[in-house]
Structure 1
């Protein structure tokens, strides 16, 4: 296992951020292994290459390309029918002492902190080589970097930190890194990490005050356009509204409903920037359905491994011991047998391939048109979550009904129990996005749906909700 010290030393000793910086559209100067740091940060294209490399790395299988979205995090959330013969049984039973499980949790920790180190190196380098970018562009780059630093370490807190609450917020959690260097930071109490996350997001918000997304919108590029992420495709970057959305998520996790509602409301008041999916794009377009509801994304990544991950985990021709798919009865319970829900039939298809009598997951299946702009897009923060946060913070079913109406569903009855309906919505809305696990942990639910039955539950506790820290971090230094 690689300790934080090993990560810091290895990354900071390189002339480049990492070999992950590979998008040739951004940089055409010298072969990457011959670039010095000064050369990399001496041109706007080089700086863009460095930042783009972090985004690309986050979108790989090992992090948000699959592990922290569609596969392991959703297995931990009991999404799939992982029986005793399945390859991932130890994960579904929270057997954190199993060698394979330990290795994957260690890899999450290591890879996330590698990107944190790279973000810090980017911020430091922007300050060390001033004047390469104009002031507006530099503010946007730095704002994105501060937002990414908070995003990554907040997720690490949600995984490895305690169940956050009045009695547990002072328990030790993770280290938080804000500077580039080789010094190893102490493991902090969860509330101190939360303070640092919030501080980074406030800084990001200030730096992104003039983000073009606030005036010209996302500005979605065409399939043949040269993308300049400073001005177009802003929802594939940690833009101003993504920062506000992340603030809402963070504040709600902390239990600060007033601040969460205010941040969410900022996004909701600008919802036209992220238009709701239309029935035509999800139901009528059979060849290229927008199953990720891309127009609604405040933040998403390009996951270039997406279709390999689909074939390895969700393709209907996989054996039962390999495929990630729910029990059919459980899936029907989740969607309340409602065929009108836009999230149901388009994303879950009964193919009959391999004699399968259950539906399989098509959300991340490939499209016919390989130039489609939402191909490879992995959702990370979406508009609907802001309405869910507002509903919970204000205790208002109206926000929940707005999302339901945009998913082809009717309003809830006036006497509906808000928390019950919110849980149903999280279960429907975020399949394959990893967010359900965090919802369960935030609510500290004592039981969650059992994927091996249509209606039963399994018991939960802090031992299951908290990932163990890697041994490399807990052993004496």
Structure 2
């Protein structure tokens, strides 16, 4: 799914329609166009499958809202003190205001339209037995079923209740595992989670012959073979990583640890990035692509970067933390001392002000383009990385010595000192989530999963936000609740 294939894929994705209607439940006949034509041979199936990947990599989902912007604003990453700024209402958890509801409604509608198209894809494979060889058929089914689980999970994390022994039984979202023209009921959150786990378990079995297991990622910029560049697809290890993330969220630490350790035991397939192999000077690998278990290929990435993060933007438009908050995250003193300044995540991802800038603060450049346009990590947003598996293992491991070893593995590979002891492991993990997942959308979900009572404002001197269900739970779009 690399550069020389993108234009063709976009054309077919447009033909497929990909269910752009506002309400997933409002399925028009034209959304089901070309079923008999599109699924006529393996090449057409490949194009349809890539259309699904391109859809979820769009700006309403993993191409921006769930990674770069909305989820990061909710996590209080940025200095948003201008009430007329486009992001202000989101930073205040004002769900009903236009800028906020527009984005959350887009996440909902694009998630469920993608889910519908996944189910249509599976239905079309069922209707055409023998169209693919058995191994390919199994792998493709595994990929899209895992994609379906991932989308439902992120919709649940945003629109569902705080998942705890109390809130897990509250009504949340519908789960769609087949094509239907009628509304599915809103399910208790724990029932949705059971469906997510079941889908991931099924995907794991279907992906048992995924070539990534024996051959690794097989990164290339020239081949259109769907069995290479496996870290851009819902591969076997991506499923294990999702199992770890999902089961930690539902509180099943033993299962989460076991899943994370499968990936950790295969860590050689996702080698740690260093400054030496990141081409730091001219073409830095700021996303640590070698460690990426799953990434989204976003053709919109650099235009999104240019309207959110570059230093030339107006104060009411730029997404940037205060100098105080950035230094706090990386544990750097006001004078610039401290080990955090050597952290690869700080050195690579935070640009010093240029000579012509009026700002004295560093700006976020993790997703800035590089000079060499053939670098295979261009246009990429990481969705699952090796580091998260070590964090999950550290949180779930009952042996505290081993737990600390998991945490230190990441710290050492980010060029900061190992810890000799940890009075509060969870606090150290929070620090790591703040440093590691900037621009990847995971911090707000960490706060929600751990039911964090308050979140410090991104504005210096502003009071912290007291967090409760009214701030942690995005309301369902109004045009959805009328069906239930």
- Report the equivalent of 2:418: 411
Is 1:165–2:182 an aligned residue pair?
A: no
The separation in 1 between residues aligned to 2:319 and 2:311, in whole angstroms, is: 10
3-state DSSP of counterpart to 1:62: coil
The separation in 2 between residues aligned to 1:180 and 1:309, in whole angstroms, is: 33
Change (3 A) 1:276 1:177: same
Superposed CA deviations along residues 54-108 of structure 1, whole A, max 9, x for unmatched, are 1011111111111110101100000011113432111100011212211221111
What is the CA-CA distance between 1:476 and the residue it aligns to? Answer: 5.1
- Report the equivalent of 1:79: 77
Is 1:238–2:212 an aligned residue pair?
A: no
The separation in 2 between residues aligned to 1:373 and 1:72, in whole angstroms, is: 27
Kindly indicate whether the alpha-carbon contact (under 8 Å) linking 2:309 and 2:319 is maintained by their aligned counterparts in 1: yes
Is 1:432–2:439 an aligned residue pair?
A: yes
- Report the equivalent of 2:223: 226
What is the CA-CA distance between 1:227 and the residue it aligns to? Answer: 2.5
Change (3 A) 1:359 1:138: same
Change (3 A) 1:325 1:193: same
3-state DSSP of counterpart to 2:318: coil
The separation in 2 between residues aligned to 1:369 and 1:281, in whole angstroms, is: 15
With normalisation by structure 2, the TM-score equals 0.91
- Report the equivalent of 1:14: 31
What is the CA-CA distance between 1:456 and the residue it aligns to? Answer: 6.7
Change (3 A) 1:370 1:155: same
Superposed CA deviations along residues 135-175 of structure 1, whole A, max 9, x for unmatched, are 00000000001000000000000000000010111000100
3-state DSSP of counterpart to 2:167: coil
Q: Give the superposed CA RMSD.
A: 1.5
Q: Which stretches in structure 2 are left out of the alignment for 5+ residues?
A: 1-20, 333-339
Kindly indicate whether the alpha-carbon contact (under 8 Å) linking 2:67 and 2:440 is maintained by their aligned counterparts in 1: yes
- Report the equivalent of 1:113: 112
- Report the equivalent of 2:317: 322
Superposed CA deviations along residues 115-144 of structure 1, whole A, max 9, x for unmatched, are 000000111111111111110000000000
3-state DSSP of counterpart to 1:412: coil
The separation in 2 between residues aligned to 1:421 and 1:457, in whole angstroms, is: 20
Q: Which moved more, 1:338-347 or 1:411-420?
A: 411-420
Kindly indicate whether the alpha-carbon contact (under 8 Å) linking 1:329 and 1:454 is maintained by their aligned counterparts in 2: no
Is 1:155–2:154 an aligned residue pair?
A: yes
3-state DSSP of counterpart to 2:185: coil
The separation in 1 between residues aligned to 2:423 and 2:461, in whole angstroms, is: 22
The separation in 1 between residues aligned to 2:439 and 2:126, in whole angstroms, is: 38
What is the CA-CA distance between 1:14 and the residue it aligns to? Answer: 2.9
What is the CA-CA distance between 1:397 and the residue it aligns to? Answer: 1.1
Change (3 A) 1:361 1:415: closer
Count of residue correspondences: 451
Kindly indicate whether the alpha-carbon contact (under 8 Å) linking 2:164 and 2:250 is maintained by their aligned counterparts in 1: yes
The separation in 1 between residues aligned to 2:127 and 2:182, in whole angstroms, is: 19
3-state DSSP of counterpart to 2:384: strand
- Report the equivalent of 1:186: 185
Superposed CA deviations along residues 430-469 of structure 1, whole A, max 9, x for unmatched, are 0000000110000000012221128974321111000001
- Report the equivalent of 2:51: 53
Q: Which moved more, 1:409-418 or 1:395-404?
A: 409-418
Is 1:464–2:471 an aligned residue pair?
A: yes
